[in-house]
Amino acid sequence: MEYITTLVKRRGDHLDGIYHCFQAVWDIKTWKIYGYEALIRHDGYDSVNDLLQTAQQENALFELDLMSISKAIQVHTSFAPSSYLFLNIHPSTILHPDFEKRVKAYMITHQLKSPKFILELTEGDLLSTWENSSFIKRIKWLKELGFKIALDDVGQGTASLKRLIEIKPDVVKVDRFFSVDLSEDEHKQSLLRSIRNYCKEYELLFIIEGIERAEDLSMAKFLDIDYAQGYLLQEPYCLKKTSGRTG
């Protein structure tokens, strides 16, 4: 924890400054909430990217990821313990030498036997991190523990399709690039049909992010996409403490 403590103190902030905004993932067939994605926030930084870049420069990304995940789980347990929780994590964190030890200790301490957690792999790490053979082994180990794995930004470039084959995630997410003007763009519709068919064949959860217009939501339903996320469905709401929420 010393790296992240140094990082935060250097900016004149406190560890308690990290909190999360939670955005629902909806089952648009049944109109029930499937789970929530925990989006990290910190008032002491101009943006999330600023926070992550500073942590990376200070060699503190591993500690930041684990601290963020721990806090998100605590807050999520206080308001929606029966739903799935999407937790963003960097591949470099999963590859860290202390990762397995820390995960095991956390699960024992908090008596997590069948976690309803989905680890969402974030972009930003070097290509060599994704292609490290030990990374795939760690992913398999996490699945054996009961964690689900989500792959984000599928469909953007050949690298994401390669990762889809190699990682074999439980959840596939496509971002707002595909949802913007989806109702009017036949090329996007065609590509999403292909991804949807792949997901149905291999029983993967398929989520489209960034839904902001009713007509694009209608098209997603027409394309037989089961899950969606976006401001039209529900804006993220921020919880700085387990006892309260802010807008």
What does each C-alpha distance from 241 to 89, 109, 118, 196 come to in angstroms?
21, 21, 22, 38
Residues in the chain: 247
Task: Return the exposure string of 26-39: e unless at least 16 CB atoms fall within 10 Å of the residue's CB, then b.
Answer: bebeeeeebbbbbb
Average pLDDT (17-41) is 96
Please give the backbone phi and psi of residue 21, each rounded to the nearest 5 degrees, phi first.
-105, 135
Q: What is the pLDDT of residue 96?
A: 96
**Biggest distance spanned by C-alpha atoms of the chain:** 51
Average pLDDT (183-205) is 97
Structure tokens at 131: 């292609």
Percentage above 70 pLDDT, the chain: 87
Q: What is the pLDDT of residue 133?
A: 85
Dihedral (C-alpha) 240, 149, 147, 235: value to the nearest 10 degrees? 30
Residue extents of the structural domains in the chain: 2-246
Q: What is the pLDDT of residue 180?
A: 96
User: How far apart (Å, rounded) are the C-alpha atoms in residues 64 and 70?
Assistant: 10
Residue 157: is its pLDDT beyond 70? no
CATH topology for the 2-246 domain: TIM Barrel (3.20.20)
pTM of the predicted model as reported, rounded to 2 decimal places: 0.89
User: How far apart (Å, rounded) are the C-alpha atoms in residues 237 and 94?
Assistant: 28
pLDDT in tens, 181-190: 999 999 999 9
Q: Which of 33-42, 142-151, 232-241 has the lowest mean pLDDT?
A: 232-241
Q: Which residues contact 99 (CB under 8 A, 6 or more apart)?
A: 62, 93, 138
Give start and end residues of each alpha helix (H) in the chain: 2-10, 48-57, 61-79, 91-95, 99-109, 127-130, 133-145, 158-167, 176-179, 186-201, 214-222
Percentage above 90 pLDDT, the chain: 64
* Residue 216: half-sphere exposure toward Cβ, Cα within 13 Å: 22
Computed over its alpha carbons, how large is the radius of gyration of the chain?
Answer: 18
Q: What is the pLDDT of residue 154?
A: 87
pLDDT in tens, 36-53: 999 999 988 889 999 988
Average pLDDT (169-190) is 95
pLDDT in tens, 82-109: 999 999 999 999 999 999 999 999 988 8
Residue 137: is its pLDDT beyond 60? yes
Q: Are residues 164 and 130 in contact, defined by beta-carbon separation less than 8 angstroms?
A: no
What does each C-alpha distance from 159 to 32, 88, 154, 224 come to in angstroms?
33, 19, 9, 25
Give which of 85, 86, 103, 107 is closest to 94, Cα–Cα.
103
Other C-beta atoms closer than 10 Å to the C-beta of 192 total 23
Residue 127: is its pLDDT beyond 90? no
Residue 5: is its pLDDT beyond 80? no
Give which of 205, 152, 203 is closest to 174, Cα–Cα.
152
